């Protein structure tokens, strides 16, 4: 006899099979007990007499069991089949009650209690679906890029110098020397454009930002892309649009159940995702939305982003809006300036439902420009030596972007906190589990 999965019961109609999984719920209706078993494929209904239930006496939900029985059609059961005439064997008993129930429609524990017991809480069907969608985003990301000639890279996370400004890095003792955790694979992905032209990386990044917000984590997964032979940041925006389409198409096909369970609204990527220049965005916020704190600022506030997101929705029916040309002063030194208006950059943010999801742009590609840009900001050139060597020896015009995986999940599912979009969040006050 082979193990059957909950989802496959229908293909074994009339046969005896066995399931393995966790006791998700037991419901008693008079003399009949409905045992709901959860395995990796989903939930299965097992109909048990009181005598059948004996092995489970005194045990709690999450007990791991083997249930052998006969597959019977039952319109009211999940996917139309259930098990009858069963034998239950306990594999791993659970004797203590759970810290909170995970078999209700939603887990009602408060967030801090939930996170303390995430090792159990993540077994909840909704929580599991969130993480499954997260896996689907990574898969859609890689498959779309693989089809477009990109090569996957894995770059070091322990680095000798801070990637960008030197602020907000975690320091490590590396055999008596101070090293740092990489804030992004930025330098390495650019270097690897010299090797493969088109690269991507999915990996952890570390930001020692000493504040707690609903949309920041101190360690998160960054989906990084970088590629060469571009015209300018519009080439990068076109790839990003294409990539988002690829990811969402993958989710729509491979994650139907997760999307349904979570009631997620998959966004539509319109034929031409609208874009607006930073300067024009500030002007419009002021003239049209009566905002008084935009013009003169080098960045947009979260409230500005929300207003712009609503505008994109109303005006273009788009969940996405590119804001281009952020002031150079707010962008890292390797950002390529707009040749026509050098105070603005060839960079962009992608707003998704009114919140920044992706940052990207064109980078400098000529060695003298790197030296000049670093010097103009008063940086010591020494830590950049090997990075700059890349540009001394021939680099094409190139650019790229980074998508924060958890932020993407959060906004896709309209979660109210990025902590609920990851398995074990790392924040200012949370280092466990």
Which residues, numbered 138-197, are part of the site for a second copy (CB under 8 A)? 138-139, 142, 146, 149, 151-160, 170-175, 177, 179, 181, 188, 191-192, 194-197
Give the nearest distance from C-beta 218 to a second copy in angstroms.
8
Task: Please state at what angle helix 278-289 crosses helix 302-316, rounded to 10 degrees.
Answer: 80
How far apart CA 54 and CA 56 sit, in angstroms, is: 5
| Choice between 198 and 275, CB closer to a second copy | 198
* Binding residue (CB under 8 A) for a second copy from 12, 34, 39, 232: 39
Range in contact with a second copy (rule: CB under 8 A) among 123-131, 235-243, 262-270, 273-281: 123-131
Give the nearest distance from C-beta 4 to a second copy in angstroms.
12
Does residue 366 bind a second copy (CB under 8 A)?
yes
Contact 226, 400 (CB under 8 A): yes
Give the nearest distance from C-beta 428 to a second copy in angstroms.
6
Does residue 204 bind a second copy (CB under 8 A)?
yes
Torsion 58-62-68-71 (CA) sign: positive
Computed on alpha carbons and rounded to an integer, the radius of gyration of the chain in Å comes to 26
Chain residues 239-258 in contact with a second copy, contact rule CB under 8 A: none
What is the signed CA dihedral for 324, 330, 336, 341, rounded to 10 degrees? 70
| Choice between 171 and 381, CB closer to a second copy | 171
Count of residues touching a second copy (by CB under 8 A): 91
Range in contact with a second copy (rule: CB under 8 A) among 34-42, 264-272, 294-302, 329-337: 34-42
- Is beta strand 171-174 parallel, antiparallel or unpaired with respect to 151-152? unpaired
Does residue 198 bind a second copy (CB under 8 A)?
yes
Contact 199, 153 (CB under 8 A): yes
Does residue 333 bind a second copy (CB under 8 A)?
no
* Binding residue (CB under 8 A) for a second copy from 41, 270, 286, 359: 41
| Choice between 82 and 127, CB closer to a second copy | 127
Chain residues 78-107 in contact with a second copy, contact rule CB under 8 A: 91-94, 96, 98
Encode burial over 399-412: b for 16+ CB neighbours within 10 A, e otherwise.
bbbbbbbbbbbbbb
Name the one residue in this structure whose structure tokens are 């859609």: 140
Chain residues 42-81 in contact with a second copy, contact rule CB under 8 A: 62-64
Contact 396, 228 (CB under 8 A): yes
* Binding residue (CB under 8 A) for a second copy from 30, 57, 76, 393: 393
| Choice between 302 and 394, CB closer to a second copy | 394
Contact 327, 298 (CB under 8 A): yes
Chain residues 271-310 in contact with a second copy, contact rule CB under 8 A: none
| Choice between 10 and 394, CB closer to a second copy | 394
Give the nearest distance from C-beta 425 to a second copy in angstroms.
8
E strands, 210-292, are 219-228, 275-277
Report DSSP letters for 230-297, one per residue.
-SSHHHHHHHHHHHHHHHHHHHHHH-HHHHHHHT--PPP--SS--EEEHHHHHHHHHHHH--SS-TT-
- Is beta strand 42-49 parallel, antiparallel or unpaired with respect to 64-73? unpaired
Contact 345, 335 (CB under 8 A): yes
Give the nearest distance from C-beta 293 to a second copy in angstroms.
31
Give the nearest distance from C-beta 150 to a second copy in angstroms.
9
Does residue 223 bind a second copy (CB under 8 A)?
no
| Choice between 131 and 249, CB closer to a second copy | 131
Instruction: Find the DSSP H helices in 156-232.
Output: 186-196
Give the nearest distance from C-beta 276 to a second copy in angstroms.
29
CA distances from 218 to 169, 375, 420 (A): 10, 30, 14
């Amino acid at each position: 006899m082979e193990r059957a999965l909950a989802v496959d019961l229908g293909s074994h109609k009339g046969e005896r099979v066995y399931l393995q999984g966790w006791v998700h719920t037991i419901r008693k209706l008079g003399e009949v007990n409905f045992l709901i078993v959860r395995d990796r494929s989903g939930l299965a209904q097992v109909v048990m007499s009181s005598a059948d239930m004996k092995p489970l006496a005194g045990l709690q939900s999450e007990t791991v069991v083997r249930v052998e029985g006969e597959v019977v059609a039952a319109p009211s059961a999940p996917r139309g089949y259930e098990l009858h005439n069963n034998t239950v064997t306990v594999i791993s008993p659970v004797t203590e009650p759970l810290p909170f129930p995970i078999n209700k429609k939603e887990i009602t524990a408060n967030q801090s209690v939930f996170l303390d017991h995430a090792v159990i809480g993540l077994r909840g069907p909704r929580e599991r679906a969130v993480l499954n969608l997260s896996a689907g985003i990574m898969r859609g990301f890689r498959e779309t890029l693989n089809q477009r000639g990109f090569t996957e890279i894995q770059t070091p996370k322990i680095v000798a110098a801070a990637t960008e400004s030197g602020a907000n890095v975690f320091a490590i003792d590396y055999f008596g020397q101070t090293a740092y955790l990489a804030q992004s694979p930025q330098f390495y992905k650019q270097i690897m454009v010299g090797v493969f032209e088109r690269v991507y990386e999915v990996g952890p990044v570390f930001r020692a930002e000493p504040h707690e917000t609903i949309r920041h984590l101190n360690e998160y997964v960054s989906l990084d892309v970088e590629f060469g032979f571009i015209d300018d940041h519009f080439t990068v925006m076109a790839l990003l649009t294409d990539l988002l389409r690829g990811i969402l198409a993958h989710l729509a096909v491979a994650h139907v159940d997760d999307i349904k369970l979570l009631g997620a609204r998959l966004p539509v990527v319109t034929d031409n995702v609208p874009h607006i220049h930073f300067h024009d965005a500030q002007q419009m916020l002021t003239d049209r939305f009566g905002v008084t704190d935009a013009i003169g600022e080098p960045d947009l506030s979260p409230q500005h982003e929300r207003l712009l997101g609503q505008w994109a929705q109303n005006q273009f029916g788009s969940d996405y809006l590119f804001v281009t040309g952020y002031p150079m002063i707010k962008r890292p030194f390797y950002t390529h300036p707009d040749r026509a208006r050098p105070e603005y950059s060839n960079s962009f943010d992608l707003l998704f439902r009114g919140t920044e999801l992706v940052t990207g742009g064109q980078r400098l590609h000529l060695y003298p420009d790197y030296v000049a840009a670093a010097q103009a900001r008063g940086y010591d050139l020494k830590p950049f030596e090997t990075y700059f060597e890349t540009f001394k020896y021939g680099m094409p015009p190139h650019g790229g972007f980074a998508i924060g995986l958890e932020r993407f999940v959060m906004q896709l599912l309209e979660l109210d906190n990025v902590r609920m979009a990851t398995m074990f969040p790392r924040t200012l006050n949370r280092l466990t589990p």
